[in-house]
Amino acid sequence: MYKVSSEQFVFSMSKDNPAVLSVPSGSKIVFETSDALDGQVRSESQSIDTLDWGRVNPATGPVAIENAKPGDALKVTVENIEVSGDGVMAAIPGLGILEADITEASLVVLPIKDGYIPFSSGISLPFRPMIGVIGVAPSGDSVPCGTPGSHGGNMDCKLIAPGSILYLPVFHPGGLLAMGDVHACMGDGEIMGTGVECAATVTVTVELIKNLNITDPMLEVSDMIYSVTSADTLENASKIATRNIRDMVASKMNIDKNTAGMLLSAIGQLEICQVVDPLLTVRFGVPKKYVWE
């Protein structure tokens, strides 16, 4: 088993980031991660003006996978997520889809107990840890860890959780895998710009899949397979994700694209991941037997 400390991190994903570790395919890796605000929030009474926004969304890594080359994919199985410390949420002017309604900043520090999160006034949130930022070096210029794309990044997909399998396209030798921004709980959309942000220890197994040639992240959850895509609008992201799955279904089932599209219209699931980042993220899924079983 390999381990990467939270002190080894990046604020952008890039081919120019030196790998902190190089491991063979099939390795189990433990990533220690900081919360999305890099541990800066200590108290609910703290002023939002004390935060350094240049320290948002640190991602632990990157880790190179031996023999990974462009056209390959990294199969990342999320084995376990252990959170540490308290969780943090915020309402911040200018952040989230309710930004016009937020005139004053609020910070909330939440204890994370085994199985639930006390919120307020007798309200308890379910403990559902997931990874917000996970990705590889993008094909072109460096991308801030707070921005999602074909390389992964800040997808904020709540299904990237223990038991799920994420497939990431490789654009550069080694792939350069990094992750962070764990949430103890987050709803689809992350409408205020934060989930229950927390530090965590994430255990994954990483395998190299040669010549898979995917263009966007794919996510396997139970009997479903999703294309996770990001674009400037939800409509454009939805079109990309749907086309990705349609083309895979047409190829797997040996049917034309019209027939595949009608099949997706009957059984597909189009869902929102997040609507608060520089690009917006959706997932489109079907039972995986139609794609690659």
Q: Are strands 12-13 and 73-91 parallel, antiparallel or unpaired?
A: unpaired
Q: Name the band, by pLDDT with cuts 50, 70 and 90, for residue 43.
A: confident
Domain assignments of the chain as residue spans, ordered by start: 2-43+52-209, 218-290
Mean pLDDT of 4-8: 98
CATH of domain 2-43+52-209: 2.60.120.580
The one-letter code for the residue type at 127 is F
On average, the pLDDT of the chain sits at 96
Q: Name the band, by pLDDT with cuts 50, 70 and 90, for residue 15.
A: very high
What whole-number percentage of the chain has pLDDT above 70? 100
Element containing residue 258 per DSSP (H, E): helix 257-267
Residues in the chain: 293
- For 58, the token pair is 């640190």
3-state DSSP call for residue 249? helix
Beta bridge partners of 143: 13
CATH of domain 218-290: 3.10.28.20
> pLDDT per residue over 162-219, tens digit each?
999 999 999 999 999 999 999 999 999 999 999 999 999 999 999 999 999 999 999 9
- Note the pLDDT of residue 290: 96
**Does the N-terminal peptide bond of residue 162 adopt cis geometry, omega within 30 degrees of 0?**
no
- Opening angle at CA 15, ends 13 and 19, nearest 5: 85
The one-letter code for the residue type at 112 is I
- Note the pLDDT of residue 207: 98
- Note the pLDDT of residue 265: 98
The Cα–Cα gap between 204 and 10 comes to 19
Judging by beta carbons within 10 Å of its beta carbon (0-12, 13-18, 19+), is residue 233 exposed, middle or buried? Answer: exposed
The Cα–Cα gap between 148 and 143 comes to 8
3-state DSSP call for residue 85? strand
- Count other Cβ atoms within 10 Å, centred on residue 232: 10
Q: Name the band, by pLDDT with cuts 50, 70 and 90, for residue 48.
A: confident
Which residues does 57 contact at the CB level (< 8 Å), separation at least 6?
A: 11, 36, 132, 133, 144, 145, 146, 154, 180, 181
Q: Examine the pLDDT at 293 and tell me if it is beyond 90.
A: no
The Cα–Cα gap between 232 and 250 comes to 27
Residue 58 and residue 180 in contact, taking contact as beta carbons nearer than 8 Å: yes
